[in-house]
Chains A and B, each alone.
Chain A
Amino acid sequence: MQKVVRFLLVLALVLPTAVLASSEGHNDHDVDHDTKDLTPEEEAERKAEREKNHRKHYVIHHTQDSHDFGLFTNETEGKHYGFPLPVILWDDGIHFFMSSKFGHGHKTASSNGKYFKLDYNNGKVYQADAEGHFLKKKVWDKELKEFVSERVEVLDFSITKNVLVTMLMVVLMFFLFRSIARSYKNGLAPTGAAKFFEPIIIYVRDEIARPNIGEKHYKKYMVYLLTVFFFIWFLNLSGMTPLGINVTGNIAFTAALALMTYLITTFTGKKDYWMHIFWMPGVPWPMKIVLAPIELLGTIIKPFALMIRLYANMLAGHIVLGMLILAAYGFSNYFASGAFIGLTFFMNIIELLVALLQAYIFTMLTALYFGAAAEEHDHEHAAAH
């Protein structure tokens, strides 16, 4: 059993990363498209290349946040089905309108005398003029060593798809866990949903918090650990629905959580924690001086790794699934399509595991950092370091 879990773990960690790396590699291909003087072979190759790029962007686009809740798209007619979401922008005052004004990047939205345009490819809102041209500003490019013109991005506090899903998840989790809490009033034995969630809550307490933080201090971190665990898990699972949700695979989401972990670790750090950073006990003094900046950097690298790990794993999982689903359509051979559908099913099951696994890893490592912050060494123990 352990072997299987370890195998899946390695697979789940390695496979998406490899795919992510390979998908990054394709970026170089979609530059210059001069279409003159082409042999039919070259033209066919170009066409295949374009098709490939289109698919890649299609998949990448579905992993990104968006200003409207798209359910499906009719590509031949270029129609999008779904519903618009509120857009909140800050540009010398607040601008509020529905995302249908953007027309999926084809229209220019006007609000309070200002014009905004959505770049449908990266999902960002830029300033525009009344004719629908992006406004440009000159910025210094360090690599080219010259001024280049760049579009002006607007501070965007829109209720995007990710924000909406997160809001719904917050509401869902609030009602779910409140009802579980209430079910204990009828008696101490768990009933209903509590039967399922209580062992998980106890697992977080007994297998994550207690051994990593210690019996003395674990209680004050329980609220954060439980919230973070279920929040990540539920949002990961929401990404398994066919709605194309990808909250946990968004860097802003993981950054928010990692920052929270960093702040809690830093502000609950005891004397011994800072002692281990700035003046490592048990090593000769020149080493202490060398270690201090490394350890200090480590306090930032740790939450940074948390942020990247969750982001990369979830994003990569979505890209892999998207690519596999597209690949099933890419074959005219039924056998090959069937095989890819089977593979997609297999990946889905792995992703289901990864959804839980990543929530566990994030919580586990967070508990580990809290443990280091809360730890109080006795002298003998400190000397052994």
Chain B
Amino acid sequence: MGLLEEFSIGLFFWQSVLFLALLFLLRKFAWKPILDSVNEREQKISDSLELAEKTKEEMESLKASNENLLKEARAERDAMIKDAKETASRMVAEAKDKAKEEGNKMLASAKDSINAEKAAAISELKTQVAAFSIEIAEKVVRGELSSADKQKALADKLVEDINMN
């Protein structure tokens, strides 16, 4: 059972032919499309992973910026609230002052007008009283001087008064 004795040229020929045929058939119909698909998929996977990594980074930066934004917003809100409070209290104070002033003013003007009315009333009263007094005096004088006797009595009395002085 020597090696050379067993070696068959015909079998060697057929095996070579068949193997070469298989080699070319599989190259065209199997290995090329299979390896291409596998490569394509691997490329896709690595691309996707890269993209995921990138997205993650982006998300992180986005998150950080969001946080910053939130912080800023919060600070702004606080500032606004503080501002608003200040404004409100200032407005209240101003309103109070103004109201007070107005009240004072009104009070003063009321006092003034009361005084003026009073003065006017007093002067009117005085005039009235004077008019009445004159009327009364007129009526009295008229009554006193309505007869000769009375005129004479009055003159006497006046003379008496003057005499006594």
Within 8 A of B (CB), among A131-187: 155-160, 162-163, 166-167, 170, 173-174, 177-178, 180-182, 184
Beta-carbon nearest neighbor of A122 in chain B: B5
Kindly identify which residue among B11, B29, B35 contacts A222, using a CB–CB cutoff of 8 Å.
B35
Within 8 A of B (CB), among A115-135: 122, 124
Which of chain A's residues have a CB closer than 8 A to the CB of B1?
A: 24, 27, 60
Distance, CA A222 to CA B23, complexed state (A): 11
The reply to whether A259 and B5 form a contact with Cβ atoms under 8 Å apart is no
Beta-carbon nearest neighbor of B12 in chain A: A252
The reply to whether B44 and A223 form a contact with Cβ atoms under 8 Å apart is no
Distance, CA A155 to CA B26, complexed state (A): 31
Kindly identify which residue among B15, B25, B37 contacts A252, using a CB–CB cutoff of 8 Å.
B15
- Closest CB in chain A relative to B81 CB, distance in Å: 57
Beta-carbon nearest neighbor of B20 in chain A: A260
Q: Given A163-B11, A188-B40, answer yes or no on A251-B22 (Cβ-Cβ < 8 Å).
A: no
The reply to whether B12 and A255 form a contact with Cβ atoms under 8 Å apart is yes
- Best-surrounded residue of B12, B29, B34 (most CB of chain A within 10 A): B34
Which of chain B's residues have a CB closer than 8 A to the CB of A222?
A: 31, 35
The reply to whether B33 and A181 form a contact with Cβ atoms under 8 Å apart is yes
Which of chain A's residues have a CB closer than 8 A to the CB of B164?
A: none
Within 8 A of A (CB), among B1-57: 1, 3, 5-16, 18-23, 25-27, 29-35, 37-38, 40-41, 44
Q: Given A65-B8, A252-B12, A253-B15, answer yes or no on A174-B22 (Cβ-Cβ < 8 Å).
A: yes
The reply to whether A184 and B33 form a contact with Cβ atoms under 8 Å apart is yes
Which of chain A's residues have a CB closer than 8 A to the CB of B19?
A: 227, 231, 256-257, 260
Which of chain A's residues have a CB closer than 8 A to the CB of B12?
A: 252-253, 255-256
Which of chain B's residues have a CB closer than 8 A to the CB of A198?
A: 34, 38
Interface size on A, residues (CB 8 A): 49
The reply to whether B11 and A224 form a contact with Cβ atoms under 8 Å apart is no
The reply to whether B29 and A223 form a contact with Cβ atoms under 8 Å apart is no
The reply to whether B9 and A259 form a contact with Cβ atoms under 8 Å apart is no
- Best-surrounded residue of A24, A174, A189, A256 (most CB of chain B within 10 A): A256
The reply to whether A202 and B8 form a contact with Cβ atoms under 8 Å apart is no
Distance, CA A222 to CA B35, complexed state (A): 9
Interface size on B, residues (CB 8 A): 35
Which of chain A's residues have a CB closer than 8 A to the CB of B41?
A: 188-189
Q: Given A64-B6, A170-B18, answer yes or no on A177-B11 (Cβ-Cβ < 8 Å).
A: no
- Best-surrounded residue of B12, B32, B44 (most CB of chain A within 10 A): B12
Q: Given A60-B1, A170-B22, answer yes or no on A227-B15 (Cβ-Cβ < 8 Å).
A: no
Q: Given A167-B18, A181-B34, A257-B19, answer yes or no on A173-B7 (Cβ-Cβ < 8 Å).
A: no
Distance, CA A158 to CA B9, complexed state (A): 10
Distance, CA A251 to CA B21, complexed state (A): 20
Distance, CA A155 to CA B22, complexed state (A): 25
The reply to whether A231 and B22 form a contact with Cβ atoms under 8 Å apart is yes
The reply to whether B10 and A166 form a contact with Cβ atoms under 8 Å apart is no
Distance, CA A173 to CA B21, complexed state (A): 11
Which of chain B's residues have a CB closer than 8 A to the CB of A64?
A: 6
Distance, CA A158 to CA B12, complexed state (A): 11
Q: Flag whether A352 is at the interface (Cβ < 8 A).
A: no
Which of chain A's residues have a CB closer than 8 A to the CB of B18?
A: 163, 166-167, 170
Q: Flag whether A205 is at the interface (Cβ < 8 A).
A: yes
Distance, CA A201 to CA B41, complexed state (A): 14
Which of chain B's residues have a CB closer than 8 A to the CB of A226?
A: 26, 31
Kindly identify which residue among A178, A251, A256 contacts B6, using a CB–CB cutoff of 8 Å.
A251
Beta-carbon nearest neighbor of A167 in chain B: B18
Q: Given A180-B34, A257-B19, answer yes or no on A65-B25 (Cβ-Cβ < 8 Å).
A: no
Q: Flag whether A250 is at the interface (Cβ < 8 A).
A: yes
The reply to whether B7 and A251 form a contact with Cβ atoms under 8 Å apart is yes
Q: Given A224-B23, A227-B23, A256-B19, answer yes or no on A155-B10 (Cβ-Cβ < 8 Å).
A: yes
- Closest CB in chain A relative to B28 CB, distance in Å: 9
The reply to whether A174 and B16 form a contact with Cβ atoms under 8 Å apart is no
- Closest CB in chain A relative to B78 CB, distance in Å: 54
Which of chain A's residues have a CB closer than 8 A to the CB of B37?
A: 181, 184, 188
Chosen A-B contacts, 9 in total, with CB atoms closer than 8 Å, are A155-B9, A160-B8, A162-B11, A174-B25, A181-B37, A184-B34, A222-B31, A223-B31, A224-B23
Q: Spell out A's residues near B (CB within 8 Å).
A: 24, 27, 60, 64-65, 88, 122, 124, 155-160, 162-163, 166-167, 170, 173-174, 177-178, 180-182, 184, 188-189, 194, 198, 201-202, 205, 222-224, 226-227, 231, 250-253, 255-257, 259-260
Q: Rank and list the top 6 A-B pairs by shortest CB-CB distance, nearest first.
A: A177-B30, A184-B37, A252-B11, A181-B33, A256-B15, A252-B12
